Structure 1
Amino acid sequence: MDLDGAQRGELDELALTYGPPRRLDAAITPFFDPVQRPDRFAEVCMVIRRHNGKIPLSIKTFYPRGAYRLPTGGIHHGERILDALHRETDEETALEVVVRRFLAWITYRDVSAPEGPPLFHTLAFLLDEVGGTFKTRDEEEQIEDWIEVEPTALSDVADGLDHIASAPSKDIGGDWADWGHFRAIVHRVVHEELSR
């Protein structure tokens, strides 16, 4: 889905405030949630740097075992990006955070039409924890567990996601391997940006 003028304007403002993001176009096999969900055009990815310097990763109850990943949340139609970032961070972690960097803007296109229109976007932000008590407020998120990793481990996390075995899933409306390839992309980009 192409972004409208207001969304592009907000992204320009965010780039001026938090630094220009790394831009990446990625080709994916798009038949899974969240890419196919009509209630969102994009997602925010919350890269939360805790007081100990580590980054929290979550796993949902229905994910393949070991498929921990950076938390993300949908940006609803008509919702401002920064509002979605703070809402999702609060729902998933209850932490008070400040935005430090706009890390990445990833645009996904169908592998069968790589020059075609965008299907979905991931907007990744580095956030610093400044307060709160870590807990998941929204039980509908179905988060089973959290772990914390050093930023340098995100490359290994990406490799793990990239190697999830193929299996159909009603929970995501598609194949786990395709989902894993999609999720691996933001972990690689964030790892590279945090290593600069």
Structure 2
Amino acid sequence: MSGQENIFIGVGAVVFKGDDILVIKRGKPPFQGQWSIPGGGLENGERLVDAVIREVREETGLEIELLGLLNVFEAIPAETGFPAHTILIDYVAEWISGEPAAADDAMEAEFVSMDEAVSRLSWDVTRQAVAQAVQKRKDFGGPS
């Protein structure tokens, strides 16, 4: 046994449109009904940057431009209750085109103000990522 059967590698994006941030409401278990940033699982043979662009497109219909890496988050089941050892790689992105239309694992998708995003997001780690993304966006040369 390789020990990797219960490891999940995922990607996500804090997507900006002006000062607003894209949030989605998850449509499938195990996180159905919870608010998050768009993202999902890495497919075998897929590059991380391709995965995050694909996930945003699948869940919201939007086209984005990645500005850079935001952070890496690790969750161990014994400490978090997540169903698998989870490694999430989050990026900062800018909206390019499209209007949010929930699909795939999203039951709702919309751009909201920073304050609204922070109040809706279901997990502290995601709220922290969004707060970090504001500064990282500036560091990457995006709008301030």
Give the alignment's TM-score, normalised by structure 2: 0.69
1:188 matches 2:127: yes
Aligned-pair identity (%): 19
CA gap of 1:76–1:185, structure 2 versus 1, over 3 A, is farther
- Once the two structures are superposed, residues 29-58 of structure 1 have per-residue CA deviations (whole angstroms, 9 ceiling, x without a partner) of xxxxxxxx86x73111121111x3211211
Listed one character per residue, the Cα deviations across residues 152-174 of structure 1 (whole Å, up to 9, x for unaligned) are: 4444334xx2xxxxxxxxxxxxx
Q: 8 Å contact 2:15–2:92 — kept in the other structure?
A: yes
CA distance in 2, matches of 1:106, 1:186: 8
Q: Is the 8 A contact 1:101 1:125 kept in 2?
A: yes
In structure 1, C-alpha distance between the alignment counterparts of 2:98 and 2:118, rounded to whole Å: 28
- Give the match for residue 120 of structure 2: 157
Which 5+ residue runs of structure 2 have no aligned equivalent? Answer: 136-144
| Number of residue pairs aligned between Structure 1 and Structure 2 | 128
Gaps of at least 5 residues in structure 1 are 4-36, 113-117, 162-183
- Partner letter of residue 84 of structure 1? A
Map of 2:91 onto structure 1: 125
Distance, in Å, in 2 between the alignment partners of 1:45 and 1:53 is 19
Provide the aligned C-alpha RMSD in A: 3.1
1:102 maps to 2:65? no
Q: 1:57 to 1:121 in 2, by over 3 A?
A: same
Q: Return the structure number with greater strand share.
A: 2
Q: 1:61 to 1:53 in 2, by over 3 A?
A: same
2:139 equivalent in structure 1: none
Say which structure, 1 or 2, has more relative contact order (CA 8 Å, 6+ apart). Answer: 2
Matched with 1:91 is 58
Q: Structure 1 190/154 Cα, relative in aligned 2: closer, same or farther at 3 Å?
A: farther
Displacement after TM superposition at 1:61 (Å): 4.3
Q: Work out the CA distance in 1 between the residues paired with 2:120 and 2:101.
A: 22
- Relative to structure 1, the CA distance from residue 92 to residue 108 in structure 2 (aligned partners, 3 Å threshold; closer, same or farther) is same
Once residues 101 and 117 of structure 2 are traced to their aligned partners in structure 1, the CA distance between those partners, rounded to angstroms, is 22
Q: 1-side partners of 2:50 and 2:27: how far apart?
A: 27
